[in-house]
Amino acid sequence: MTTPALKEWPLWEVFVRSKQGLEHKHCGSLHAADAAQALHMARDVYTRRQEGVSIWVVPSASITASNPDDKGELFDPAADKIYRHPTFYEIPEEVGHM
Amino acid sequence: MYTQSFSVADAPGQKPAAPTLSTENPQLMAAFDARIDADGRIEPQDWMPEAYRKTLVRQISQHAHSEIVGMLPEGNWISRAPSLKRKAILIAKVQDEGGHGLYLYSAAETLGTSRDQMLEGLHSGRAKYSSIFNYPTLTWADVGVIGWLVDGAAIMNQIPLCRCSYGPYARAMVRVCKEESFHQRQGYEALLVMMQGTEAQKAMVQDAVNRWWWKCLAMFGPPDADSPNSAQGMRWGIKRISNDDLRQKFVDATVPQAQVLGITLPDPDLKWNEARQHYDYGQIDWAEFWNTVEGNGPCNKERLSTRVKAHNDGQWVRDAALAYTRKQQQRAQKEAA
């Protein structure tokens, strides 16, 4: 393993949990030399008004994303499977909420 | 938060020219146009015409630069704020502007331009930022007027940008607009307090309004008839409301606020037009505006040199952070070996 020669600080993606019980949500990105600094900076950039109780930072380079060109073959097959939704089934009125 | 609603050419002395689209793949172009027509959003990995990408990089980076340079005129007053309360408020506001600059640089980076490239553009004087910051902040009333009018004008510009067709820019704007309302209200409230003071204090508010009013109207950019890029920006869903319409909204919203404050807006032609249901206003001095855009305003050189000095003075911090990271990595490798 070699230490990368960085001209710029690497990019990090920032995820913030707004309160206990909710998921971490992506809120933006920033540059930082290392993970600890990325956390400090995320605190200052993204939570100046108590927007969060927990922060994740992830090196942007570590994220594997689906390719937008594959959107059709990845997601279209779900479009004709409407029987996966509860509204597909008709239940008699007198049964009430189900 | 600050932006001018139009994007000026970065090369000095050039007014914007309409980009050409002729070389793009017609099939991809048709799919892109269809998505825009359906009011869809474009995300970083999606195909987009080169001219759309270039326009966005220029506009978002200019917007980011404006936030960063925008810290300077108000930053001058942090050490001279009249009370601890006002000082804390001003620090928070200036810190917000820095944060807004970072959101916007991040948005521009998703288009494939690097932070270093953008900073180099700003520091070399090649890239533009909002001309409003090339005027001096002479008195404490200027700080209030910047919040009320300059931020007020910026909010008018930025609210429609929350619906911009480019996802990362729109999301950055939503975050910015949430924080922005505090900026305008703190400025207006600081002026209300001054207007309850001595005659000299009231005169100071009026003087600051006199100096900033016309500059704020110019922030919305040239009249629609002289704004060749606007139509393309509208077509692409980057710009949603025209320069003149935004300017009119700003005037209509501001006149009653000025009345409550008890100051006079420095325009003898400003009056309610019953037929239009809007306020009429006088002629903006566009020659003076373009002269400032082209680098000859009262503070262009001072702002840029202050910005460059701040960046250079921080070099040792960036170097130290990288050196520390390398040392930590080497230590970890040694322990693993």
Contact between A34 and A44 (Cβ < 8 Å): no
In a domain, A48, yes or no: yes
Q: Give the residue from chain A lying closest to B176, CA to CA.
A: A46
pLDDT confidence of residue B18: 47
Residue A82 inside a domain? The answer is yes
Write out the residue range of the structural domain in which residue A63 sits.
Answer: 11-95
Instruction: Enumerate long-range contacts of A32-36, CB under 8 Å, 24 or more apart.
Output: A32/A57, A32/B321, A33/A6, A33/A9, A33/B318, A33/B321, A33/B322, A33/B324, A33/B325, A34/B321, A34/B324, A34/B325, A34/B328
Taking the CA atoms of B142, B143, B146 and B148 in sequence, report the sign of the dihedral they define: negative
- With 0-12 / 13-18 / 19 or more C-beta atoms within 10 angstroms meaning exposed / middle / buried, residue B101 is buried
How far apart are alpha carbons B88 and B90 in whole angstroms? 5
Q: Name the residue among A29, A30, A33 with its Cβ closest to that of B325.
A: A33
Number of Cβ atoms within 10 Å of the Cβ of A6:
12
Q: What integer pLDDT is reported at residue B71 of this predicted model?
A: 96
Show which residues on chain B lie within 8 Å of chain A, measured between beta carbons: 43, 45-47, 92, 95-96, 99, 102-103, 106, 109, 114-116, 171-172, 175, 179, 318, 321-322, 324-326, 328-330, 333
Residue-wise pLDDT tens for chain B (337 aa)? 344 444 555 554 444 444 455 678 899 999 999 999 999 999 998 999 999 999 999 999 999 999 999 999 999 999 999 999 999 999 999 999 999 999 999 999 999 999 999 999 999 999 999 999 999 999 999 999 999 999 999 999 999 999 999 999 999 999 999 898 899 999 999 999 999 999 999 999 999 999 999 999 999 999 998 887 788 899 999 999 999 999 999 999 999 999 999 999 999 999 999 999 999 999 999 999 999 999 999 999 999 999 999 999 999 999 999 999 999 999 999 999 8
The residue among B89, B73, B52, B130 whose CA lies nearest residue B303 is B73
Which chain B residues are Cβ-neighbours of A11 within 8 angstroms?
109
Under an 8 A CB cutoff, do B328 and A34 touch?
yes
Q: What is the pLDDT of residue B230?
A: 84
H helix runs in A1-98, sequence order: 35-46, 71-75
From B102, B115, B329, residue closest to A45, measured CB to CB: B102
Is residue A70 one of the residues assigned to a domain?
yes
Which residue of chain B is at minimal alpha-carbon distance from A3? B326
Domain assignment present for A3:
no
Closest Cα in chain B, distance from residue A69 (Å): 8
Pick among A1, A3, A6 to test the B interface (most B CBs inside 10 A): A3
pLDDT at position B229 is: 76
Report the alpha-carbon distance of residue B130 to residue B116 in Å, rounded: 20
Q: Nearest CA to B321 among A9, A22, A21? A: A9
- Of the candidates B113, B104, B13, which has an alpha carbon nearest to the alpha carbon of residue B64? B104
Q: Output the DSSP codes for B118-131.
A: HHHHHHTT-S---G
Is A80 part of a structural domain of the chain?
yes
Residue B63 CA to residue B58 CA, distance in Å, equals: 8
* Domain-located, residue A6: no
Give me B2's structure tokens.
Answer: 């600050």
The Cα of B120 is separated from the nearest Cα of chain A by a number of Å equal to 12
Number of domains within chain A? 1
| Chain A, chain B: beta-carbon pairs less than 8 Å apart | 53
Matching residue, tokens 């910005």: B307
**Is residue A85 one of the residues assigned to a domain?**
yes
Residue A60's CATH number: 3.10.20.520
CA dist., res. B55 & res. B17, Å (int): 11
Please report the pLDDT score of residue A90 as a whole number: 95
Confidence of residue A79 (pLDDT cuts 50, 70, 90): confident
The predicted pLDDT at position B16 comes to 45
- To test the contact with chain B by mutation, choose from A13, A25, A30 the residue with the greatest count of B C-beta atoms within 10 A, namely A30
pTM listed for this prediction: 0.89
- Which residues of chain A are within 8 Å of residue B326 when distances are taken between CB atoms? 3
Please report whether residue A27 resides in a domain. yes
Rg (CA), chain A: 21
